[in-house]
Amino acid sequence: MPKILTQQPPWIARGTPGHQLFQHDEPAKPSSAPKNAQYDGPLRKVAHRGTEVFVAVGNELRWADVSALERPAPDEQEDDRGQYRVLKTSLSRPIQQLSVSRSGDFIAILTSHTCHVAPLPASSHLYSGDLSPLRLKTLQVGPTAHVLEQAPLMSAIWHPLSPSGNCLVTVTQDACVRLWELDSNNRSTFDEPSLAIDLKKLANATSTQIDFSASKYGVSTGFSPDNIEMQVAAACFGGQGRDDEHGWSSMTLWVAMGEGDVYSLCPLLPSKWRAPATMLPSLSTSVVAKVRAASGDSEITAAEKRVVDQQCTWLAELDNQDPMLQPREDEFDTVEVYSRPAKPGPIPKLQGPFYMSTELDSGDVTDICVIAAKIDDDAVYDDEFEETDAADGLSVGVICLATSNGKVHVCLDLDGVEAEWLPLKRPRSFTPDDDGEKDLLLFETIDLYGEDVGEGWPTFTASPVERYELFVTTQSGVYNLDFTYWTNMLEADLASDSDAGVDFRLKMLLESAKTAVSQIITVPAKPERNVNAVMAICDPASIGYVLLTAAANTPFATVLELPIHPSHAYAPDELTSAGALPAPEPRAPYEPAEAFYQASALPQLLKIASEKRLLGSDLKAQVRFSPATLQLMTDAHRAMSSETHRLGLAAADLFRRCERMQAELREQVRKVNEIAQKVDVVVGEETDAGSDNETAPRFSGKEKIERRIQQSEDKTRQLNEKVDVLRKKMMSLGGKQLSAKEQAFASEVETLNRSLQPAVAPEAPTEPATLLHMENSPSSKREHEQERADSLTGRFEAVRALRERLVRQVEDEAARKAEKETEGGEGKGGPMAMSGFRSRRMEQVRSLLERETALVEGVGERLARLSAGS
């Protein structure tokens, strides 16, 4: 949501050229229209080309440069007109809508029923210092199509895919769409459209064998229910022709009817059209995927199969073309220009009406705005390609409908709109599959103002800096709608590969996610349907981000903060620098009411009375009572009462503003006093805490702050000491301290562990001093051997050696016994008589061996436990 920097900037204050740009210089000329005729449609009397502004005042067109209005030259002489220039046209009716072409070469000027296009001079020619009126060459578009006897004009849109930027699409209230490929060198392009489609005929058609063209001038038409149900309220294209949009979006025309039905035409293209870099790859990928799916699906309907075949035929003709390369604004960049395919045909099928999830019972539809779905990068680009500047977006389209009672319905196009054409021949039988239903999911309904405001004609204006942001102009002012929050959340669920719990998450999203709404411009008066659609200009190098509109010939403007976004290549010096301290909420300055500047009708009444000799020439003569004098007094009273009532309301408004300013000033003084008290608490004078003596030292300013810092440091030191004490206590919770005996036992175990380690034989000394050392003498060697034999290690090795020797003896004895038994020459009185004595000896040896083995294993286990405990 943009931040408001300034409301009602000084350059549109009363008396400035910016304010005079919207004022009537002279009373409006009487119109040739009937007195009871009243325009019922959108007001778009302000348009721009860069920082240049075009304003319609009555039937007069004016031009000014906003950058010059903000910074007028001090040495420039300003006349009554100020720094704007009048562009004279041949129009005799009030102008209702203005629209500058995408190329900036033409401006479309619409009245209630007629459409005119004027070539615009170059900016250098308009801003040449000469502010004299300039006459424009105005050409009427459709001299026999857009006339007073035909239906009123509701929308005039410049096609986003026109190579020249000068292709105009007009939509009338009777649901007739005309496409004009304007060429200043060919006058016939202004007289006859290249395409003319009657949507009522197209809605009831079953093949391309009938005539879909709009009715001609003078041809009477019969009554049809579609004349009421298909009254157009507004139209728009589904995209802006950018590379990050879905392929079919920019060639889809959306049409909203007054009763709430929504239709679409796709593709609606001029004879020559430009293709963004990602359009054809994305369309080819999508169509190829549909062809593969259709070939393997046995349950596909005939209508679905026909749509796939038609799209393949359409793309195949594009693939066979050699596109023309047209340079863009950047001389190093080009765009491909294609011819409109001849097959399946230039007129698409009318898709719709799109059914809402709930009925819209909140007034007539007044405007429609569509935000295109983002392109599927994964399907278009290879895995190795990395789109570093890929913008975030929603993979489904967002459709917004404004109603006359100030409600905005935000819908989602989950299925998407693709190209469809009618069949060449009428089918023999009709089945429900031949006309598939289209649905729109109603995501949210936003109520901008209450019912007490009344009905109007709200209009949409797209944001020039944020994709998912809109401005809505209503009777009470301009509102900002920001969809960024819930679109990011919704896209995260739509892009997720896992479907687990998606229903619950989407339900919670629909219940909790809301669009951010804020009122940017407030219109104090209540003009009936005369608030112009807001115009948004973003030029970081000169004027910044400005919203401009007008109501009752009074301008209203707001300067917004430029958003910092990665996709916006704004230089640091181009951004509005924000102060270190938070700025107060901006508020529009006081503008004197219009009643203070309106001329009184009393002098005119006195002039009439003098001419009729009802009053004396000097107003001092005796009044003659007569019916004429009574009528004069009644008229004077009526005029004076209305004028004094208006003046009283204006004065009361000024009085209320003064009272509000006094209340706000008192509130600000109170807040300043609170801040001053807090400052005194921090840096003010303070006596020593806990001392009641008046002579106690007083601290103030720097001394008080240093004293508080010293107290904080002392407190920190005390806390660190307490933490150390607690740390020692926590360490002691693991067990008691070891006693002296336990420490001696631990050292003994450590010594035993080292003694049990295998001894490493020392290397033989080679130096003479080492060889002559006493440690290498035979006596010292014997002493070391004796100490080793007395140690536990020596005793353990001796037991092991004894065990090995006894085992060998037993094995040898058993072997000798076996040999003697095999010889068989020994009698009972031989050596075998000693077998009992030998067996007893052997039992003793075995028990001794088992004891030694148990002793050795026990010692080993104890050593292992001692090693683990240490």
| Full DSSP string of 384-398 | T---TTPPP--SSEE
User: pLDDT of 183-204, one tens digit each?
Assistant: 988 999 999 999 999 999 998 8
> Which range, of 29-38, 219-228, 678-687, averages the lowest pLDDT?
29-38
> What are the tokens at 47?
């348009």
State the residue range of the domain holding 623.
Answer: 601-637
Please give the order of strands across the beta sheet that includes 52-57: 46-49, 52-57, 60-65, 85-88, 134-135
Are the beta carbons of 106 and 119 closer than 8 angstroms? yes
Residue ending a domain, among 637, 664, 693, is 637
Question: What pLDDT is recorded for position 341?
Answer: 93
CA 312/CA 239 separation, integer angstroms? 23
CA 659/CA 644 separation, integer angstroms? 22
Does residue 835 have a pLDDT over 90? no
Question: What pLDDT is recorded for position 382?
Answer: 54
CA 594/CA 288 separation, integer angstroms? 64
Question: What pLDDT is recorded for position 31?
Answer: 46
Does residue 528 have a pLDDT over 60? no
Q: Is residue 264, in this structure, part of any structural domain at all?
A: yes
- Are 423 and 350 in a shared domain? yes
Angle at 220 between CA 214 and CA 224, to 5 degrees: 75
Residues 260-276: what's their mean pLDDT? 93
Please give the order of strands across the beta sheet that includes 469-474: 459-462, 469-474, 477-482, 516-522
Please count the CA atoms within 13 angstroms of the CA of 653 that sit on its side-chain side: 15
Q: Is 68 helix (H, G, I), strand (E, B) or coil?
A: helix
pTM for the predicted model, two decimal places? 0.71
Residue 648: how many CB atoms within 10 A of its CB?
11
Q: What are phi and psi of 202, to 5 degrees?
A: -70, -30
Question: What pLDDT is recorded for position 435?
Answer: 55
Q: Which residue has the higher pLDDT, 413 or 579?
A: 413
Q: What are phi and psi of 68, to 5 degrees?
A: -75, -35
Q: Is residue 560, in this structure, part of any structural domain at all?
A: yes
Q: Confidence class of residue 869 from pLDDT cuts 50, 70 and 90?
A: low
Alpha helix locations (H) across 625-701?
627-683
Question: What pLDDT is recorded for position 217?
Answer: 64
DSSP 540-593: TTTTEEEEEEEETTEEEEEEEPPP--TT----GGGSPPPPSSPPPPP-PPP---
The one-character DSSP state at 31 is P
Question: What pLDDT is recorded for position 55?
Answer: 94
Residue ending a domain, among 405, 422, 447, is 447
- Are 10 and 84 in a shared domain? yes
Q: Confidence class of residue 523 from pLDDT cuts 50, 70 and 90?
A: confident
Does residue 311 have a pLDDT over 80? yes
Q: Confidence class of residue 327 from pLDDT cuts 50, 70 and 90?
A: confident
Question: What pLDDT is recorded for position 32?
Answer: 47
Length of the chain: 870
Question: What pLDDT is recorded for position 218?
Answer: 55
Question: What pLDDT is recorded for position 790?
Answer: 63
Question: What pLDDT is recorded for position 169?
Answer: 96
Question: What pLDDT is recorded for position 439?
Answer: 85
Does residue 453 have a pLDDT over 70? no
Does residue 692 have a pLDDT over 60? no
Q: Is 710 helix (H, G, I), strand (E, B) or coil?
A: helix
Q: Which residue has the higher pLDDT, 196 or 800?
A: 196
When divided into structural domains, the chain yields a total of 4
Q: Confidence class of residue 160 from pLDDT cuts 50, 70 and 90?
A: very high
> Which range, of 222-231, 274-283, 482-491, averages the lowest pLDDT?
222-231
Residues 271-291: what's their mean pLDDT? 90
Does residue 493 have a pLDDT over 70? yes
Alpha helix locations (H) across 322-471?
377-380
User: pLDDT of 57-95, one tens digit each?
Assistant: 988 999 999 988 887 555 444 454 457 889 998 888 999
Q: Are strands 253-257 and 232-237 parallel, antiparallel or unpaired?
A: antiparallel
- Select, from the ranges 199-213, 245-259, 559-573, 677-691, the one with the highest average predicted confidence (pLDDT): 245-259
- Are 208 and 322 in a shared domain? yes
- Are 222 and 301 in a shared domain? yes
Question: What pLDDT is recorded for position 499?
Answer: 64
If you search the block for the tokens 């596909």, which residue do you land on?
Answer: 300
Q: Is residue 398, in this structure, part of any structural domain at all?
A: yes
Residues 574-595: what's their mean pLDDT? 60
Q: Is residue 456, in this structure, part of any structural domain at all?
A: no
* The one-letter amino acid at 33: A
CA 667/CA 669 separation, integer angstroms? 5
Question: What pLDDT is recorded for position 545?
Answer: 92
Q: What are phi and psi of 662, to 5 degrees?
A: -65, -45
- Are 384 and 237 in a shared domain? yes
CA 555/CA 642 separation, integer angstroms? 25
- Are 328 and 431 in a shared domain? yes
Burial string for 340-371 (b: 16+ CB within 10 Å, else e) reads bbeebbbbbbbbbbbebeeebebbbbbbbbbb
- Are 338 and 422 in a shared domain? yes
Question: What pLDDT is recorded for position 159?
Answer: 95
Are the beta carbons of 436 and 443 closer than 8 angstroms? no
* The one-letter amino acid at 447: D
> What are the tokens at 842?
């052997």
Residue ending a domain, among 532, 567, 598, is 598
State percent of the chain over pLDDT 70: 75
Are the beta carbons of 603 and 569 closer than 8 angstroms? no
Q: Which residue has the higher pLDDT, 585 or 842?
A: 842
Question: What pLDDT is recorded for position 26?
Answer: 59
Q: Confidence class of residue 685 from pLDDT cuts 50, 70 and 90?
A: low
The one-character DSSP state at 16 is S
CA 720/CA 248 separation, integer angstroms? 69
Average pLDDT, the chain: 79
- Are 155 and 17 in a shared domain? no
Angle at 595 between CA 589 and CA 599, to 5 degrees: 135
- Are 7 and 69 in a shared domain? yes
Question: What pLDDT is recorded for position 769?
Answer: 44
> Which range, of 27-36, 42-51, 128-137, 683-692, averages the lowest pLDDT?
27-36
Q: Is residue 499, in this structure, part of any structural domain at all?
A: no
Question: What pLDDT is recorded for position 526?
Answer: 63
Q: Is residue 318, in this structure, part of any structural domain at all?
A: yes
Q: Confidence class of residue 97 from pLDDT cuts 50, 70 and 90?
A: very high
> Which range, of 179-193, 265-279, 801-815, averages the lowest pLDDT?
801-815
